[in-house]
Chain A
Amino acid sequence: MEGVLKPSCDEQHPPQAADFQEKPEQNSKLSAGVKKDIEKLYEAVPQLMNVFEIKEKIGEGTFSSVYLATAQLQTGREEKLALKHLIPTSHPLRIAAELQCLMVAGGQDNVMGVKHCFRRNDHVVIVMPYLEHESFLDILNSLSFEEVREYMFNLFKALRRIHHFGIVHRDVKPSNFLYNRSLKEYALVDFGLAQGTPDTKIELLKAAHSEDQQGSCSQNDPTAASGREVSASVPAPKLAAQQAATKAAEKRPSSLSKTHFKQGRGGKEDSVQHSVPRSVFGERNFNICSSTYQENTSTKFIKQSKVMDVSSRRLITKKKIIPTKTASNRAARKAASGCPSNLLCDCYATDRVCSICLSRCQQVAPRAGTPGFRAPEVLTKCPTQTTAIDMWSAGIVFLSLLSGRYPFYKASDDLTALAQIMTVRGSSETIQAAKTFGKSVVCTQLVPAQNLRTLCEKLRGTTSSSQGSQGEAPGEAESGSADKPCPETLGKQLPLLSSSQEGDHALAIIAADPQGWDQVPDEAYDLLDKLLDLNPATRITATEALLHPFFKDMRP
């Protein structure tokens, strides 16, 4: 979370109003806790003392805290800066990779840049320009349609840029896309979870990719793990220790801490649960087997739905890059030999499981990010994930903007998230698409795909005067199986009256809307449809999105 003005609420919490006009507080007004943190930061990295005046803490996450500071430029001008203090448990390679992303890709096209970095031992502080920004939730229902169009256009510019460098961000969401409404400035932030594509231009993100599935079935005590060899290929003796670490990481705590110190937006504080580590290098490229592993079958609805898992990303040393192909072949062989049970059974694609299929290794694939923004191929543990996962996330942001709902999906685990996606995009459509990326999905509930215009208008509570030319999705019209109609909703086009809203929110009547919400063009929903393409291979790219008719009068 970088460069914020005010604390603002996390998407899972009630909004905290951020008074945008307010000046940063004086030290005298800071709470004791924040004062102490600032003091500790000066102490940890004394060089800061000679350069910065740290004004306040503007965000805290699992992996970093962000402060607002001022400094004098050589030119004599005073400048505001965001100081991101990384958790000292971060591996130097992760830190270096984050810096490299900012340096190589940042500083233009709405991608956050970096000005400086300070280190003392394990304490690293990244200095970035400071961008005052809005809380997404606070402005969601007051944005004009035109502002939404500009917002999405600028998000695609940032994504086009990072994708060009072969960076998969993995955590695209409003809190990582800073938006200053009055200045019309935007910044994609936080490369703490980024991964490289196989041909990434970011040297430090280079890694033999996660196609290298390795199986391992050691039953080591997780606490014995101490493997932290940074390497692309995991030598066999290392596997046991690393696997144990993975296993420990894979265990989902049954209850998540809700006393998550949170303020401010963005960053990984939204994405991660405390007790689960980010990937350690090499962990991701093998698959574990644990006969004691239990997929959550007794659904626990945990309010805090931020989960990140071990397989977030892997870094390797420059010396040890090996061609992806070689790695995956070797890995595939390992997987074949490492699993206790490669036996087929009759449960495949049915409603059954048996001791044979349950004794196989678990597949490991990257999962880092925020649940409601994860693409179907992430939720189903597809080992090959591309920049398309960021485009899906952008689609979810767009869905929020068009429907006035944030967060749109609310799930505490991956399969609930997948079921919610089916509810919007259709179950058979989701199952079909999953086949294309190598996954068999069985779902007992047959839910039809929703017409996106109808869905968004119902949720936003506005009616459109322009009739969508895209017809009703098959089965959508009268099915009712997937929606829960409201008693007070008499017809599909009737707005939902929400008594809880203040004037500037839900428009109750069919009047011309000065904000343009009564004239949302079909192109908007066409683009949304292409972003939420269930098949990552055909999903629209950032470059293509900028050329979509929805942005017809804008310059990519």
Chain B
Amino acid sequence: ICEDAAGKLKSPFVKVEDRSRRYRPFYLQFPSFPLLNYCVPKPYSPFEVDKKYLSGQKQTQFKQRNKINSDKDCGTLVQLPPKDKKKRGYCECCGKKYEDLQAHLESEQHRNFAQSTHYKVVDDIISKFVSEFIEYKDDAKQIKRTKCST
């Protein structure tokens, strides 16, 4: 399939265009049009293309396997991403994309924003809260907590 080529679209396709005719149409040519497939077992989508449920891997087995994991270590993930994976994203404060979240947060531009008055709008709301919580000032508690997380 040739992208962006002017000409006739290959069937099956869906094409959408604004009726003002002032914008670029967008379209999709399907290898095959979606089909309701009643044979897919519950609770999978009838549009499930992945045949994972046919591989003898029943969902009940998934459940079993994951139960072991979650019982043991609740709050942690079964499939942890490799730790070295940089978190890419977009910073709304700085208006730019970053490849590595931590590196960006430590950049001068972001640190300047973080310490700026832009957050007044948040602080104004925070000032409206009345705390129902007891605030501990004793170091004992802090030390204890710091210890837990080592």
Contact = CB atoms under 8 A, between A and B. Distances in A.
A179 to B, nearest CB: 16
B39 A486 contact: yes
A183 interface: no
Interface string A234-246: 0000000000010
B149 to A, nearest CB: 4
B74 A24 contact: yes
Contact of B92 (A90, A297, A353, A502): A90
A300 B43 CA distance: 24
Contact of A117 (B7, B110, B115, B126): B126
A6, A122, A483 — which one has the most chain B CB atoms within 10 A of its CB? A122
A516 interface: no
Contact of A438 (B20, B119, B132, B133): B20
Interface string B3-32: 110111101111111111111111111110
A322 interface: no
A404 to B, nearest CB: 5
Contact of A31 (B7, B35, B41, B75): B75
A363 B81 CA distance: 36
A184 interface: no
Contacts of A249: 90
B76 A263 contact: yes
Interface in A344-375: 344, 347-349, 351-355, 357-363, 372
Interface string B110-131: 1001110011111111101101
Contacts of B78: 16
B94 A226 contact: yes
Given A74-B132, A360-B23, A502-B60, A117 B125 contact: yes
Contacts of A459: 38, 42, 46
B133 A89 contact: no
B3 A353 contact: no
A325 interface: no
A91 B92 contact: yes
A74 B135 CA distance: 9
Interface stretch (A149-157, A160-168, A275-283): A275-283
Interface in B81-126: 81-83, 85, 87-98, 101, 104-105, 110, 113-115, 118-126
A124 B81 contact: no
A407 interface: yes
Nearest to B117: A92
A482 B36 contact: yes
Contacts of A257: 85
B117 to A, nearest CB: 10
Interface residues of A, number: 167
B4, B22, B63, B74 — which one has the most chain A CB atoms within 10 A of its CB? B74
A522 interface: no
Given A88-B114, A259-B85, A275-B89, A486 B60 contact: no
B24 A14 contact: no
A320 interface: no
Interface string A435-451: 10011111111010010
Given A34-B76, A50-B137, A360-B23, A14 B93 contact: no
A248 B98 CA distance: 12
B115 to A, nearest CB: 6
Given A140-B43, A360-B24, A500 B74 contact: no
A17 interface: yes
Contact of B14 (A103, A406, A442, A502): A442
B7 to A, nearest CB: 7
A53 B18 CA distance: 54
B92 A228 contact: yes
A104 to B, nearest CB: 11
Nearest to A224: B96
A42 B150 CA distance: 13
B129 A404 contact: no
A339 B35 contact: no
Contacts of A261: 77, 80-81
A103 B122 CA distance: 13
A119 B93 CA distance: 16
Interface string A292-321: 011111110101000000000000000000
A223 B26 CA distance: 25
Nearest to B136: A50
B22 A294 contact: no
A42 B149 contact: yes
Contacts of A357: 17, 21, 24-25
A460 B42 contact: yes
Contact of B15 (A351, A445, A486): A351
A528 interface: no
A1 interface: no
B14 A419 contact: yes
Contacts of A260: 81
Contact of A51 (B85, B87, B110, B135): B135
A422 B76 CA distance: 39
A498 interface: yes
A263 B77 contact: yes
Contacts of B122: 92, 95-96, 99, 117, 119, 124
Contacts of A342: 22
Given A119-B123, A415-B16, A363 B24 contact: yes
Contacts of B94: 89, 226, 228
Contacts of A358: 4, 6, 24-25
Interface stretch (A55-63, A193-201, A467-475, A538-546): A55-63
A413 interface: yes
A352 B89 contact: no
A62 B45 CA distance: 24
Contacts of B12: 443-445
Given A31-B73, A347-B25, A405-B42, 4 more contacts: A36-B149, A249-B90, A420-B47, A483-B38
17 contacts: A27-B149, A58-B75, A74-B133, A74-B134, A88-B110, A95-B122, A141-B42, A245-B96, A295-B26, A299-B31, A372-B45, A403-B46, A404-B43, A422-B14, A424-B36, A441-B14, A460-B42
